[in-house]
Amino acid sequence: MKRVEKRYPFDSVADEVLSKTFALARSVMLLIENDLSEEAFGVARSIVECALNLRWITAEPKEVQARAFRFVRYGITVKNFWYWWVKARYPNGAMTDDADAYAKAWNLVEDGSGVFKHWSGEKQFTRTASELKHPLDADHQTKEDHAAKRAHDYFHPSCFVHCSQPGVDSYFSETVAFEIHRHKADPRGFAGSAIFICNTYLHELIVYATYGMNVYLSSPLNCLVHHNFRGDIGQYRFGTD
């Protein structure tokens, strides 16, 4: 039975984040199947972000529900931004009337400033969430270990999200002045790296979600994940398609 959302907002957050993550993982696989491995690598970063969100929310057991509520409230912050934007851009007319009616139903205010801050209130969320000490972390894991993990799983695919030079380099042509073409072969193994991220962070997300809801995680699921890493997928992290 689903618990009361207002009292246990984390349940709803975990449900929507996990559902989103599985959709992202399916997107990654479809891109790889269609020879778009670099694009899949970029999409995989969103899975890392989902995991970091739940990692930060569940890092302090007594703060789980409060942090989850902060995550939910950011949705209102975004609505406030768009209400402010519509009123500023279209001060008169039917669109403004519609916006006013919507704002009344949601108790919105004309304030666009909130979207320029991270929903958590942290100034360096990615670094903070990845390097904090979480109750589920292994004793041997260090801040340096988390930093190395972030470098590969977050910073590296960020080039393919923002399309900075490393993210478009494989589309450079040395022979044709201008031509729309497919990327070069994938010697760096981005498909394998994307699959590794999917496997690793889907497991982490499930663990964070069940931990936050005080639900026992069955050992067969952990065994299944460890079995995968004993197979070929274990080589994928540093790209050896």
pLDDT band at 146 (very low <50, low <70, confident <90, very high): very high
pLDDT by residue (tens digit) across 91-134? Answer: 888 888 999 999 999 999 999 999 999 999 999 999 999 999 99
Mean pLDDT within 179-183: 69
pLDDT of residue 50: 97
Q: Is the pLDDT of residue 168 over 50?
A: yes
pLDDT for res 172: 77
pLDDT of residue 222: 66
Q: Which residues contact 212 (CB under 8 A, 6 or more apart)?
A: 10, 14, 54, 57, 58, 64, 68
pLDDT at residue 212 tops 70 = yes
For residue 48, how many other CB atoms are within 10 A of its CB? Answer: 25
Range from 25-39, 203-217, 224-238 carrying the lowest mean pLDDT: 224-238
Q: What is the rounded radius of gyration, in angstroms, for the C-alpha atoms of the chain? A: 21
For residue 230, the model assigns a pLDDT of: 47
Length of the chain: 241
64-89 and 37-57 are packed helices; what angle lies between their axes, rounded to 10 degrees?
Answer: 120
217 band by pLDDT with thresholds 50, 70 and 90 = low
Q: Is the pLDDT of residue 231 over 90?
A: no
CA distances from 168 to 39, 97, 162, 193 (A): 10, 44, 10, 17
Reported as a pLDDT band with limits 50, 70 and 90, residue 237 is: very low
Instruction: Please count the CA atoms within 13 angstroms of the CA of 131 that sit on its side-chain side.
Output: 12
Written in H, E and C, the secondary structure of 28-80 is: HHHHHHCCCHHHHHHHHHHHHHHHHHHHHHCCCHHHHHHHHHHHHHHHHHHHH
> Please, which pLDDT band fits residue 214 given cuts at 50, 70 and 90?
confident
DSSP string, 133-144: --TTS-TT--HH
Which DSSP string do the residues of 119-172 spell out, in sequence order? TT--TTHHHHHHHS--TTS-TT--HHHHHHHHIIIIIHHHHHHHT-HHHHGGG-
Residue 80 amino acid letter = N
Per-residue confidence at 67, pLDDT binned at 50, 70, 90? Answer: very high
